[in-house]
Chains A and B, each alone.
Chain A
Amino acid sequence: MPSDGVKTLLRLAGVQVAYGAIEAVKGVDLELFAGEMVCLIGANGAGKTTTLNAIAGTLPLSGGSISYHEEDLARLPAHKRLRRGIALVPEGRGIFTRLTVEENLRMGAYIRKDADGVAADMARVFDMLPRIHERLHQVAGTLSGGEQQMLAIGRALLSRPRLLLLDEPSMGLAPLVVEKIFEVVQSVRQEGVSILLVEQNANLALEFAQRGYVMESGRIMLSGSGRELLANPAVRAAYLGEAS
């Protein structure tokens, strides 16, 4: 898929999300250009996952707006956003543990009717994730954490997304495995899928992403290119575990 230049794919303007009386996201502005990988970093409870779920449509907005391809998403439920090409890989992977790996992947293509296209995408996913291919008929709950994460990404790819929302793919995984996952994510981006990545592993995320946003208690505190943020002393102090 060719990248369509520097077109804005996703735009968040003053997005607010509340759980009852508690405001988790207090006005987030964020932009993502087509073909780009952007990361959203921040401490626990900063509102990263909430922001991502609001984009995917699994949480309602209490203020602000989200537009995708110049279309306002406000009235679009989650399953319709997926049809527009927004796929979420939820936090904690969210694979269907009682189904086999193959069935999980097929569930990713739930909304699609083009059997040939699905078969082709299936083959592409196998190329990208050979481990998953090996375990095709295993019950997904018996996979290792890393394999489950790869399966979750593979499943999301089967909906043929244009924007992939990744929620903490590194969670609970060994550093070597995390690197593998990031390589997979990188190759997904090279295929032309734009990526919005939420991560606690700021170092790695900023290294791979073109641009990053730093979130703190429901607001964006900083933004810039991955390199800039990596070099920013405040970011280094707060998120990369360096004494200032």
Chain B
Amino acid sequence: MNELAELVPYLGKHKPRAARALVILLALVAPLIAIMFGRTWVRVLDFALLYMMLALGLNLVVGYAGLLDLGYIAFYAVGAYTWAFLASPHFAEAFPALAAGLGAADGIHLPFWLVLPVGAALAAMAGIILGFPVLRLRGDYLAIVTLGFGEIVRIFMNNLNYPVNITNGPQGINLLDSMNLFGWDLARSIKLWGVKIDSLFFYYYFFLLCVVGSILFIQRLQISRIGRAWAAMRDDELAAKAIGINIRNMKLLAFALGATFGGVAGGLFGAFQGFVSPESFSLMESIAVLVMVVFGGMGNIAGAIAGALILTALPEILRHIALPIQQALFGQVLLDPEVLRMLLYSLAMILMMLLRPGGLIPAHARYSRPEFIAAGEARA
């Protein structure tokens, strides 16, 4: 996990082992520190981990394969709604007769190890569905179509309550099952030796595990044939074709794999939140995830992680500072926290483009096997 060392400025360059240990330690104790400031902050951390997964997935598409995707949140929605449909009372409410007939009078409640893969697969399929029509598009045109795709999915979720109620429309679906790891319900707080352990902690460590798994997977992917093919395709599509890369398959694979991450994160989000509605999947969310990737540093695992963490936590911190300040200064709240969040994102983007166009942690130039990277850097 060399990338992790890059998360720590200065130390990461000079003592990567120490930096890596520090990152792992921080990741492990972060919720313990956060709880001192209140449960909200543990919740923020949980969300930061979800956004990390999203940023890592979008980074595959945008950073590695070079395909600008402005509708990425659609896959998150697919994952979340899959969870909502397959693990909630919704089915029984929407189709009482059918549910009773199938012996599912209290809805469908499938276990997580079934729902998550189904959600991931559906998201991957959505990725391929998006991929096919945009195979020949590049740059702005690709961005516009993906943006439209994201909106289409959201509008579908908003309206698929009629004639057949699949998504329950704008009200969303409620009472989603929580994550249940073989009988252990993550949403239930546990009392252990007289100490109450908040359920948010369980989610934190479970999400952390998922993020670590994603990082390991992406790391291998990056230096694999696929990763190199993406790097080549992004640099020069014609040349990539000329060396025998099947551009069509590689693009579809990028969309599908990126979408898979979105789908899994969406499922986790549904379980964690217990509630899904179309407004969680607006265009602004797609942009937020993209900003995280670009802000952190495109084509870079550490970048996606730093971007997601900072841009999830900062607005929350700002919310807690800005509201009291506005109250004190004007006697009322003039700027809504959500407006502040977008304001902050735009400001972060502008400053980044001016001061550090490569992102917070710029990506390395190289993509092949680690031994070449080492050799190259020794001589460069």
Contacts and interface: CB of A to CB of B under 8 A. Distances in A.
Interface string B341-353: 0000000000000
17 contacts: A58-B241, A79-B241, A94-B239, A96-B236, A96-B239, A99-B366, A99-B368, A102-B372, A103-B366, A107-B243, A110-B225, A110-B228, A110-B245, A111-B244, A137-B375, A137-B380, A152-B239
B244 A83 contact: yes
Nearest to A109: B243
B242 A87 contact: yes
Interface residues of B, number: 25
Contacts of B228: 103, 107, 110
Given A82-B244, A107-B228, A137-B376, A90 B239 contact: yes
Given A100-B372, A137-B376, 10 more contacts: A78-B242, A79-B244, A95-B239, A96-B239, A98-B366, A106-B368, A107-B228, A108-B243, A152-B239, A156-B242
A77 interface: yes
B367 interface: yes
A149 interface: no
Q: In which size bucket is the chain A interface?
A: 35 or more
A100 B244 contact: no
B236 A99 contact: no
A200 interface: no
A58 B243 CA distance: 11
Contacts of A89: 242
B235 A88 contact: no
A155 interface: yes
B77 to A, nearest CB: 33
A58 B372 contact: no
B242 A56 contact: yes
Contacts of A155: 243
B142 interface: no
A56 B245 CA distance: 13
A94 B365 CA distance: 17
B97 interface: no
B23 to A, nearest CB: 26
A87 to B, nearest CB: 7
A94 B366 CA distance: 17
A90 B376 CA distance: 26
A218 B376 CA distance: 45
B236 A82 contact: no
B196 interface: no
